[in-house]
Structure 1
Amino acid sequence: MPTTLPALPGPPPDPHSYAAASPLRPTHLHLALTVDFASCTLAGTATWHLAEPPLAATELVLDTRDLLLDGVGLGPAPTGPAATYALAAAADPVLGRALRIAVPAGTAAVRVAYRTSPGAAALQWLAPAQTAGEHPFLFTQSQAILARTWLPCPDSPGCRFSYEATVELLGAARGQLLALMSAANNPQATAPDGRYYFRQPHPVPAYLLALAVGRLDFAPLSNRAGVYAEPVTLGAAHHEFADLERMVLAAEQLYGPYRWGRYDLLVLPPSFPFGGMENPCLTFVTPTIIAGDRSLTSLVAHELAHSWSGNLVTNGTWNDFWLNEGFTVYFERRIMEQLYGRPYADMLQVLGEADLQHTLQTLGPASPATHLRLHLAGRDPDEGLNDVAYEKGCLLLLALEQLVGRPRLDAFIKGYFNQFAFQSMDTDRFAAYLSQVLLTPAGAARLDLPAWLDGPGLPPGAPAARAVRFEAVAGALGQLAAGTPPAALLPSTAAWSSQEWEYFVRNLPPTLSATALGQLDAAFHFTATGNAEVLAAWLERATAASYFPAEAALAAFLRRVGRRKFVVPLYRALLAVPGGPARAQAIYALARPNYHSVTTGTLDELLGWPPSPPAV
């Protein structure tokens, strides 16, 4: 049972939501949608139910961006009276426009009829040529504040609501395509009438609303877990994720029961901008983690861990993003340790810390962007979220583990998830809770929590990982630097894992010539590897060295894959070499239609898109 605690600080205001300050907070959504692939739009009604009818007239504020309103009414019935409402005249480019609805006393619900715009930022409509089959595809990506582009809602992680939805497919999609949401998707065949019903009984924030529609099949992995994918991908996906139920059991043994019913994966087309998205009951994953040898499934462990850290206890605002991601990275690596051993988890930790060090160097030693507590007001939060929240947050938990011991930290984390289940948490409230429950005054002084939360970089004495299995890789790199031919290293590298190869490629001497890279490629076939992590690291190095035999693979990878983690560094590498900017522009012109808006939002700025017309 949750513990009774002294009062914690109140939640801070959310700088990214008009609705977060609304006098009324809706607690349940009934969503009725039609999906029209012909016009690339959604249309329907969002009915927001209030916890209690207000005793006096007040207003409900919802977040919207680029939505077309068809009317606003009072009460749950379509025949209810029209409501008085106002939509802000000027749209903020990031926040959109506040929808303010006058709510008379005694009103139980408010209905908003609306349509999305064809360019709604959360929605990606894929033509058949952009999928693995012969049918179109739709998926949403609502994090961080894009839910407001496909329904009027309180689009703040601090606002939670349960929901039910009816989704109807129009036109040729009816009877051909399957609809799924971040709810209980009982394995089902495609509905002949194109109508689907969903119910999510647990309160979730708007960024965890998700919808996908495509030609999808399902394969079970256990009684409560399975995978959806396009038919041509399903077999490989089913093999790749065979350990999913073992992951769920390991997570439960660590931090308590999985509370969401089913846990299924949906493999999306490769344009998906992230590695994964932890939508409740239905994690979205990129096909770039299907390597054939189950070597990249730590990403699935990460998204599963979000079922506790993020979905169960959610960051109150995007300034508190580290509370979602730092806990999740720590939890992910504990799952992987439990399944595959400490040496395996140590490799993941070392690679993660290397990513963090690169980010800290890029941002600068004094940058406030290296604090755990962020200050994102006035910015698109999606552009301010980086490895700091993930890896520095994880290191804070490792520092706590060193300070109090793993058993006490595990008990604390398990109690934290139980105490604040289906609630939101911000940095100040977490710091107060940590001090009340886990830290003694002496422990707090040794930890120096303010330096972690509001200081730049890493505090002195921050944990540093060591991976025994990387020592052999370092030895091979040393041999290479001493002049050993790459082919002579083949016997000692035969049993290397994906992580060892990634470490090898990342740590190749930066001065290697294109000729030297050619020798490596001839021995290890990096340009032809099917492992996306290794390939992306290799292509970045090959681009920097102007290793021309990899150019075709680079162009093909950038045109096929929209995962921002991969494509942004590769375009940056192109921009840094002679002739690279023109090549980057040419590739981007072909690839951009395949990218989600989350990716193009970053790349348009990086590449100066659209390019200026030539001078006359």
Structure 2
Amino acid sequence: MLTASALAIALTACSGAAGNSAAVSQNDAPPAVAPVLDTPEAKDVHSYADPQEARVTHVSLDLAADFDAHVLRGTATLDLKTAKDADKVILDTRDLTIASVTDAKGKPLPYQVGAADPDHGAPLTIALDGAKQVKITYQTSPDAPSLQWLSPEQTAGRKYPYLFSQGEAILNRSWIPTQDSPGIRQTWDASITVPKPLTALMSAEMLTPDGVDTSGDRHTFRFRMDKPVAPYLIALAVGNLQFKATGPRTGIWTEPEMLDKAAYEFADLPKFVDAAEDLYGPYRWGRYDVLVLPPSFPFGGMENPRLTFATPTVIAGDRSLVSLVAHELAHSWSGNLVTNATWNDFWLNEGFTVYFENRIMEKLYGKRRAAMEADLGWTGMMDAVKAAGGPTSPDTQLHLNLGKDRDPDDGMTDIAYEKGAAFLRTIEKTVGRDRFDKYLRGYFDRHAFQPQTTAGFLADIKKNLLSDAEAKRIGLHQWAYEPGIPDNAVHVKSEAFPAMDMAAKEYAEGGLVASVPGDDITTQERVRFLNQLPRDLSHDRLKALDDRFDFSHAGNSEIRFAWLMLALDARYQPAVASAQAFLTSQGRRKFVAPLFSTLMNEDNWGKPIARRIYAMARPGYHSVTTGTVDRIVGWTPDQG
């Protein structure tokens, strides 16, 4: 365990080590100003910005956290690159209170906040009058959807409050007035003032690990990100946080009460980084740390540069769920280094990352483990196709057509993740792994710190890898632009799963519970067994399973979730207490949304249960989760 001052020494010491093990040539240095694509498919309809007229290149934040009012207050100073005749810059905002806008010398600049859209916020149009820098004084709303303010009772220590942000896809505009589009990459720095003894962390180089005294009861932390990133990757967390190193350039941040468990779970962080570099080239972000957040965090993980945000639901005690780290680390190449230019091409982030994640898992844990996780992913993809309305639904395309009338969150399904990965596996099978690995390493180099589109990727792979015959055999256009799963999709099948499928079949047909595989199988095998059981399994058979394995109290979140999906589908009343405990103790959307959907599908039985539990659980969820579940249960503001 390191104190903040000890961390400062560690950071200084490890900077050389990280530099040696992740050295890159001058040709790999990030561009001073990242390009913005001007092709038609790169137009981001989910941003008000017009980057061809004026674009943000750097953001400098100076903010103070008010835990009583639940707001951030301060300034955002934006550096601009403008066209010769530019007379204005348009920024994205959401529920911000703007106090003033000036140029670099303090001269007031005329500005106007336009009409607000419930999903996209409102444009902030600033008349430039020749200015190349604008300074905006503002404060956030207490209900800013990116920010979650937690009471001490909602934390592990139950003594101090907590704040964290979640920016993907377009939520960061609710705490930073900037051009909130993934295609407009920006460097940034920040000064964040918080009450003592809280610590502020951000997805950037930490310049002041101890903070700088601001007054008797407040201190300021400073950060710098000198590489241009998509603005959704600017992230903030404030809480009673401590650090424990797991290697010369890796470590864990979390509350003291969680630190030892989290450090044990993620002890292999250095091995993950080494394995990823062996595959696709140097890690270019310096450090790779993980922040384990309170359980209301809405995702499994968020790939914020240098500091992955992670849910505590992956802490199973046996490192069985650490593929999450492989996934978030892989984003350091696919997503953070090369980023989808718009949310229509979200698959470029997630499909590449799922493929890369599985390669890391294979390298570290072997083909058997990797095959099980890929096979479970295939099942998730087929479920996503069904949920989207079937294989003819346009929502099963990789390249989506999300108009401004749709929230980009709608595209964040297993189609992007698993169909994208299946596409890349199909390419790999066609050309061979060695050729494909060489191509991917070159792809990340060619497009480092730049946005990308589906059209751009297809052009690149045809130029640098595929012959015309290979491209035709794969069917690039069908994969990218047409719905459904092509017939040539590579389905990685686990050799371990047929035994689980047979065990599920035999048990469903009346086999003895004593014959069900016991504790010597993996989490992935157990999940497969539960998923293969019929949804109308009798209550007696469910009770026998729960009596033997105590699934209702499983500490492994993936097993608990699979059990509850089975039990609630079968209207098994004894599982309701477990569901209530699970749904009110964590807010990970991957678990929460399907469970509420399952309950809401049961008109006379599940709907009252869903609405009762949601009324209790909703105040503890982040807006990312409530935004989805509100629609599922039909929640309206007057119910809050």
Q: What's the TM-score, normalizing by structure 1?
A: 0.94
Taking the aligned partners of 1:486 and 1:612, their CA distance within structure 2 comes to 47
One-letter amino acid of the counterpart of residue 182, structure 1: S
Corresponding residue number in structure 1 for 2:609 = 583
Question: Does 2:185 correspond to 1:160?
Answer: yes
- The equivalences for 1:216-255 within 5 A come to 216-255=241-280
1:27 is matched with which residue: 57, 72, 85?
A: 57
Change (3 A) 1:57 1:354: closer
Query: By how many angstroms is 1:612 displaced?
Result: 7.8
Letter in 2 for 1:458: I
Structure 1 contact 59–101 (Cα < 8 Å) conserved: yes
Shift of 1:515: 1.0
Q: Please name the residue that 2:143 is paired with.
A: 119
The more displaced of 352-361 and 473-482 is 473-482
Cα distance in structure 2, aligned partners of 1:238 and 1:186: 23
1:498–1:484 Cα change, 3 Å: same
2:155 is matched with 131
Counterpart of 1:467 (choices 467, 471, 494) is: 494
The equivalent of 2:327 in structure 1 is 302
1:125-274 aligned at under 5 Å gives the runs: 125-133=149-157, 134-169=159-194, 174-185=195-206, 188-189=209-210, 193-274=218-299
1:235-262 deviation digits (Å, cap 9, x = unpaired): 1100000111100000000000000011
2:456 maps to 429
Q: Which runs of 5+ in 2 are unaligned?
A: 1-26, 29-36
Aligned residue pairs total: 596
Q: Distance in 2 between matches of 1:254 and 1:63?
A: 37
CA distance in 2: counterparts of 1:430 and 1:283, whole angstroms? 26
**What is the Cα deviation at residue 465 of structure 1?**
1.6
Cα offsets for 1:134-181 (capped at 9, x unmatched): 111100000000111101111000001111100011xxxx22111000
Query: Which residue pairs with 1:375 in the alignment?
Result: 401
Partner of 1:44: 74
1:543 is matched with 568
Select which of 551, 561, 568 maps to 1:526.
551
SS in 1 for 2:42: coil
Shift of 1:190: 6.3
- Tell me what 2:95 maps to: 66
Identity %, equivalent residues: 49
- Conserved 8 A contact 1:71-1:112: yes
TM-score by length of 2: 0.91
For residue 603 of structure 1, what is the aligned residue in structure 2?
Answer: 629
SS at match of 2:282: coil
Deviation at 1:82, TM superposition (A): 0.6
SS in 1 for 2:587: coil
Asked whether the equivalents of residues 229 and 266 of structure 1 are also in contact (C-alpha less than 8 Å), the reply is yes
> For residues 340-370 of structure 1, what are the alpha-carbon distances to aligned partners after superposition, in whole Å with 9 as ceiling and x for unaligned?
0011000000000000001112221210000
- Tell me the residue number matched to 1:384: 411
String of CA shifts for 1:444-501, please: whole Å, max 9, x gaps: 1101111001111111221112101212222322331342211233xx4331111111
Quote the residue 2:46 is aligned against: 16
Change (3 A) 1:31 1:9: closer
Match of 1:5 in 2: none
Query: 1:283 aligned to 308, 311, 319, which one?
Result: 308
1:87 partnered with 2:109: no
SS of the residue 1:203 aligns to: strand
8 Å contact 2:536–2:569 — kept in the other structure?
no
Farther off after superposition, 568-577 or 34-43: 568-577
Match of 2:31 in 1: none
1: CA distance, partners of 2:212 / 2:413: 40
Cα pair 2:201 2:238 within 8 Å, conserved: yes
Q: Deviations over 1:201-232 (max 9, x none)?
A: 10011100100001111110001100111111
Q: Does residue 357 in structure 1 map to residue 382 in structure 2?
A: yes
The 1:139–1:61 alpha-carbon spacing in structure 2 relative to 1, beyond 3 Å, is same
Partner of 1:508: 533
Q: Which residue of 2 aligns with 1:336?
A: 361
Asked if 2 retains the 8 angstrom alpha-carbon contact of 1:347 and 1:469, the reply is yes
**Any conservation in 2 of the 1:54–1:104 contact (CA below 8 Å)?**
no
After superposing the two structures, state which structure 1 stretch, 38-47 or 55-64, moved more: 55-64
Mapped contact 1:9–1:428 kept (Cα < 8 A): no
Report deviation, 1:14.
0.6
- CA–CA separation in structure 2 for the residues paired with 1:350 and 1:365: 19
Residues 62, 74 of structure 2: 8 Å contact kept: yes
1:157 counterpart letter in structure 2:
P
Q: 2:395 is paired with a residue of what secondary structure?
A: helix
**Which of 508-517 and 310-319 deviates more?**
508-517
Q: Whole-Å Cα distance in 2 between the matches of residues 544 and 97 of structure 1?
A: 42
Separation in structure 1 between the aligned mates of residue 590 and residue 210 of structure 2, nearest angstrom: 34
Task: Kindly report which structure 2 residues correspond to 1:397-436, keeping only aligned pairs within 5 A, or say none.
Answer: 397-436=424-463
Residues 338, 444 of structure 2: 8 Å contact kept: yes
- Following TM superposition, by how much is the alpha carbon of 1:298 offset from its aligned partner in structure 2, in angstroms? 0.3
- For residue 83 of structure 1, what is the amino acid of its counterpart? L
CA distance in 2, matches of 1:55, 1:397: 42
CA distance in 2, matches of 1:361, 1:532: 24
Contact 2:399 2:481 in 1 (8 A): yes
Q: Quote how far apart the aligned CAs of 1:21 are.
A: 4.0
- The 1:191/1:526 distance shift into structure 2, 3 A limit, reads farther
What's the CA shift for 1:579?
Answer: 2.5
Distance 2:391 2:620 in 1: 36
Q: In structure 1, how many angstroms separate the alpha carbons of the residues matched to 2:335 and 2:161?
A: 31
Deviation at 1:537, TM superposition (A): 1.0
Q: Distance in 2 between matches of 1:483 and 1:496?
A: 22
CA distance in 2, matches of 1:393, 1:9: 24
Could you tell me which amino acid in structure 2 is paired with residue 392 of structure 1?
A: K
Question: Contact 1:9 / 1:429 at 8 angstroms: preserved in 2?
Answer: no
Listed as ranges, the gaps of 5+ residues in structure 1 are 3-7
Q: Secondary structure at the match of 2:125?
A: strand
2:208 touches 2:223 (CA, 8 Å); kept in 1? Answer: no
1:565 counterpart residue number: 590
Q: Give the Cα–Cα distance (whole angstroms) in 2 for the partners of residues 430 and 298 of structure 1.
A: 26
Say which SS state the counterpart of residue 19 (structure 1) adopts.
coil
| Alignment partners' CA distance in 1, 2:208 and 2:324 | 23
The one of 508, 520, 530 aligned to 1:481: 508
Q: CA deviation at 1:384?
A: 2.6
Using the TM superposition, give the Cα deviation of residue 560 of structure 1 relative to its aligned residue in structure 2, in angstroms: 1.0
Letter in 1 for 2:102: G
Tell me, yes or no, if the aligned pair for 1:168 and 1:194 is still in contact at 8 Å: yes
> Which of these residues, 417, 422, 435, is aligned with residue 395 of structure 1?
422
Distance in 2, matches of 1:57 and 1:477, equals 66
Distance 1:488 1:372 in 2: 42
Q: Is the 8 A contact 1:178 1:213 kept in 2?
A: yes
Helix, strand or coil for the counterpart of 2:179?
Answer: coil
